[in-house]
Amino acid sequence: MTITAPQKTAPASPSLQPTGWLRYLSFSVDHKVIGLQYLVCGFAFYLIGGAMAGAIRTELLSPVSDFMARDVYNQILTLHGTVMIFLWIVPVVNGAFGNYLIPFYVGARDMAYPRLNAVAFWLIPPAGLMLISSYFITGAAQSGWTAYPPLSITTPATGQIIWILSVLLLGGSSIFGGINFIATILKLRRPGLKLMQLPMYCWAMLGTSILVVLSTPVLAGTLIMLSFDIVAHTGFFNPGMGGNVVVYQHLFWFYSHPAVYIMVLPAFGLVSEILPVHCRKPLFGYTTMVYSIMAIVVLGLVVWAHHMFTSGTPPWMRLFFTIATAFIAVPTGIKFFNWLATLWGGRISLNSAVLFSCGFIVNFVLGGITGVALAQVPFDVHVHDTYFVVAHFHYIVYGGSVFVIFASIYHWYPKIIGRMLDEHLGRLHFLLTFVGFNLCFAPQHWLGLNGMPRRVAEYDPQFELVNQISSAGALLMAISTLPFLWNVIASAFFGAIAGDNPWRALTPEWLTSSPPPVENWKGDPPLVTHPYGYGTPADEIDLNSASGSDLWRSGQ
């Protein structure tokens, strides 16, 4: 009823799909190849960043600095943050899934600018390798992923300059990607497909890309100024020469707060695709979801100074940013209630994709609650730059974005590879990750409240036990990748054949073969006007047991 099935089939060509794995190492312009390149490359960097996290947690097993030298600790810390943000989460939730899915969703055969797309991807590996090799060659940057001057000006210059260069390259890649997504979503829609009929992930990517295009260039300009301070001895951020270090923080957070939404809005979109399929229900409140994404985009641009409440900002500024930040919780909350309502009354299949999505909801809610608390100046003044903040943002970026990345891999693997993943291993993976994650980060709230600052290699002995618990959680998280890795590798060869549409889903990527052919469809792209048209109409179901609001209230 909602899908006009493609009638025309391609002429008798055996397969348009190029064979051979080598194309994944080539300058391919196929959006699916590029999407996978992003995913695999990002995952490789995730493993590297994870190893660094392991080193950090090992150092923190004991209160003294004994595992590695103090400056090495700071290098590892800086690399860990930079790799995880710029080389894992941002490229994967945007680049990987965006490239793979958006052309399907708008009914196109590729992205708007395929070559630019390939360029954007191929900026990433060199930038990442450069960043990591700086550790071995000259010593990496040691001023944290925030690179606050004057520390970043006074620490060894080579490492810091390499850091700046690679972040500039990654920022460029992300801007090119953002432009491409905006153009694809707005301009490449199949005739007859209206904006308000697009799957939610398109809206999330549109919002994200707007943030990318508006905020990343500011970071680029700022880092250029910083590099001038280091190389040409200008004094923008050098107090010794009359510079102002707080201006750097403003400019930096003008990018980096939106950056947290660049990492999490696409994840919101992906969850909105996954849940309806496995709950066999329409996405609840499509229109409000769209508006809340746009509200988050607008508000996200005006909350940056909540990272600077102790930086000597004047009172009126603190007040304004408290209010703006707190209000971001409203559109975010709408999305969460809508997902809960999507679950309500569904026929939920408890597979790995759903488990990871629900894990995401639980973790993100906790991260959001601590976020609203942090937005209150008097609260923040105590816990800013402590382990409480570390816990907060890991609940958001790991508990949020990374959980969604895993959920998405479980959901789309059958489409990408054509074979199913093993469910038992998937659930084991979820269990280990969820327990390990909470064991690792929940205790850190307490550490921060009680006096442990962040970014330290040594700490007060009273915190030893809790730090060891946290490290045990980290170990569990490391172990949890093993079943996952085994699963994705082995299933590619031995997994059950998936078929075109194993989840009986309605979004367009499922209406072609698995894996899809080169230009996505043999014949015309289907017109999907109700991507969430699941569900038995109300008149065919016993309404008494399922009328939404009654049940809703009784649940609370």
Contact between 396 and another protein per CB under 8 A: no
Of 79, 51, 108, the residue nearest 167 (C-alpha) = 79
Minimum CB distance to another protein, residue 481 (Å): 25
Location of structure tokens 């997994």: 495
44 binds, among ligand HEM, another protein, Cu ion, none (CB under 5 to 8 A by kind): none
Binding residue for another protein, selected from 220, 420, 442, 466, defined by CB under 8 A: 220
C-alpha 254/C-alpha 152 separation (Å) is 19
The site map against another protein for 170-209 (x = CB under 8 A) is -----x--xxx-xx--xxx---------------------
**Chain position carrying tokens 């994709």:** 353
Q: Applying CB under 8 A, does 445 fall inside the site for another protein? A: yes
Q: Does 271 bind ligand HEM (CB under 6 A)?
A: no
- Per CB under 8 A, does 251 bind another protein? yes
537 touching another protein, by CB under 8 A:
yes
CA distances in angstroms from 524 to 10, 108, 109, 196, listed in the order given: 9, 9, 10, 21
Cβ atoms of 396 and 364 within 8 Å: the answer is: yes
Q: Is 527 helix (H, G, I), strand (E, B) or coil?
A: strand
Could you tell me which of 371, 390, 551 has the C-alpha nearest to residue 463? 390
Residues 28-47 that bind another protein (CB under 8 A): 28-30
Binding to ligand HEM (CB under 6 A) within 388-427 occurs at 389, 392-393, 396-397
User: Residues touching ligand HEM: how many (CB under 6 A)?
Assistant: 24
Identify residues 491-530 at the interface with another protein (CB under 8 A).
Answer: 518-519
Q: Which residues in the 347-376 window bind ligand HEM by CB under 6 A? A: 368, 371-372, 374-375
List the one residue from 5, 19, 494, 544 that touches another protein (CB under 8 A): 19
Residue 15 binds what, of ligand HEM, Cu ion, another protein, none (CB under 5 to 8 Å, by partner type)? another protein
Find, among 293, 336, 272, 290, the residue nearest to 505 by Cα.
Answer: 272
Least Cβ distance, residue 303 to Cu ion (angstroms): 6
Helices marked H in 397-422 — which ranges?
A: 403-417
- Binding to another protein by residue 73, rule CB under 8 A? yes
CA distance 548 to 2: 24
384 is a contact residue toward ligand HEM (CB under 6 A): yes
- Please give the Cα distance from 79 to 244 (Å, whole number): 26
Q: At what angle do helices 245-279 and 387-396 cross, to 10 degrees?
A: 40
Tell me the two tokens of residue 225: 């100024």
Smallest distance from another protein to CB 238, Å:
9
Q: Which residues pair with 259 in a beta bridge?
A: none
328, 439, 456, 511: which one contacts ligand HEM (CB under 6 A)? 328
Nearest to 202 by CA among 214, 190, 185: 185
Shortest gap between Cβ of 485 and another protein (angstroms)?
27
Burial state string for 242-269 with b = 16 or more CB within 10 A and e = fewer than 16: ebebeebbbbbbbbbbbbbbbbbbbbbb
Q: Could you say whether residue 311 binds ligand HEM (CB under 6 A)?
A: no
Instruction: Report in angstroms the alpha-carbon separations of 402 from 76, 202, 307, 357.
Output: 21, 19, 23, 10
Dihedral sign, Cα of residue 60, residue 150, residue 86, residue 200: positive
Structure tokens at 263: 């990492």
* CB within 8 Å of 79: residues ≥ 6 apart: 49, 52, 131, 132, 135, 140, 141
Whichever of 250 and 257 has its CB closer to Cu ion, that residue is 257
Q: Does 228 bind another protein (CB under 8 A)?
A: yes
Residue number with CB closer to ligand HEM (219 or 277): 219
116 binds another protein, rule: CB under 8 A: yes
Q: Closest approach of Cβ 388 to another protein, in Å?
A: 10
Q: Binding partner of residue 393 among Cu ion, ligand HEM, another protein, none, CB under 5 to 8 Å per kind?
A: ligand HEM
Contacts of 33 (CB under 8 A, 6+ apart): 23, 24
Q: Taking CB under 8 A as the rule, which mask of x and - marks residues 289-328 in contact with another protein?
A: ---------------------xxxxxx--xx--xx--xx-
Helix H or strand E segment including 146: none
Binding status of residue 381 toward another protein by CB under 8 A: yes
Binding part of the chain for another protein, among 49-57, 80-88, 261-269, 458-466 by CB under 8 A, reads 458-466
Using the structure block, give the residue that is written with the tokens 């559109």.
331
Query: Using CB under 6 A, which of the segments 104-112, 193-201, 320-328, 475-483 binds ligand HEM?
Result: 320-328
**How far is 453 from 388, CA to CA, in rounded Å?**
9
- What character string, x for contact with ligand HEM (CB under 6 A) and - otherwise, covers 126-155? --------------------x---------
| DSSP per residue, 201-222 | HHHHHHHHHHHHHHHHHHHHHH
**If binding means CB under 8 A, how many residues of this protein chain bind another protein?**
160
- Of 446, 472, 478, 515, which one interacts with another protein (CB under 8 A)? 446
Give the shortest CB-203-to-another protein separation in angstroms: 15
Q: Residue numbers of the site for ligand HEM (CB under 6 A)?
A: 146, 260-261, 263-264, 306-307, 325-326, 328-329, 332, 368, 371-372, 374-375, 380, 384, 389, 392-393, 396-397
